[in-house]
Amino acid sequence: MAHIVGQSRYQATLYPETLDEVIAADSTVRVIDGFVDSLDLAGLGFSNVEAEATGRPPYDPRDLLKLYVYGYLNQMRSSRRLEREARRNVEVFWLINRVRPVFKTIADFRKDYPEVIAGVCRAFIKFCREQSVFGGEVLAIDGSKIAAAASRKQVITKAKLAERDAAIERKIADYLTAMDEADAEETPLEPTKTDVAAALAALRAQRAELQQQAEQLVQEGLKQKVLGEPEAKLMRTPRGHQVAYNAQIAVDAQHDMIVAFDLTNEGNDLQQLHPMARQGKAAVGADQVSVVADTGYANGAHGKQCEQDGITAIVPHGERVNPKGKQYFSRDQFSYARESDSWGCPAGEVLQLFKTSHTKQKKEYRTQACPGLSAEIAMHRGSAADHRARLP
Return all residues near 175 (Cβ < 8 A) that are at least 6 apart: 196, 199, 200, 203
Return all residues near 260 (Cβ < 8 A) that are at least 6 apart: 125, 249, 250, 276, 279, 280, 282, 283
Q: What is the pLDDT of residue 384?
A: 39
What digits encode the pLDDT tens for the residues 138-183? Answer: 999 999 998 888 888 888 787 777 777 788 888 888 777 776 776 6
Q: What is the pLDDT of residue 185?
A: 67
What digits encode the pLDDT tens for the residues 191-210? Answer: 555 566 677 777 778 778 77
The whole-number average pLDDT for the span 221-248 is: 85
Q: What are phi and psi of 314, to 5 degrees?
A: -115, 100
pLDDT at 117 over 80: yes
What is the rounded CA–CA span in Å between residue 59 and residue 160?
Answer: 48
What digits encode the pLDDT tens for the residues 342-392? Answer: 888 888 888 888 888 877 778 888 888 877 666 666 654 444 333 333 333
What digits encode the pLDDT tens for the residues 44-103? Answer: 999 888 877 777 888 999 999 999 999 999 999 899 999 999 999 999 999 999 999 999
The whole-number average pLDDT for the span 265-286 is: 92
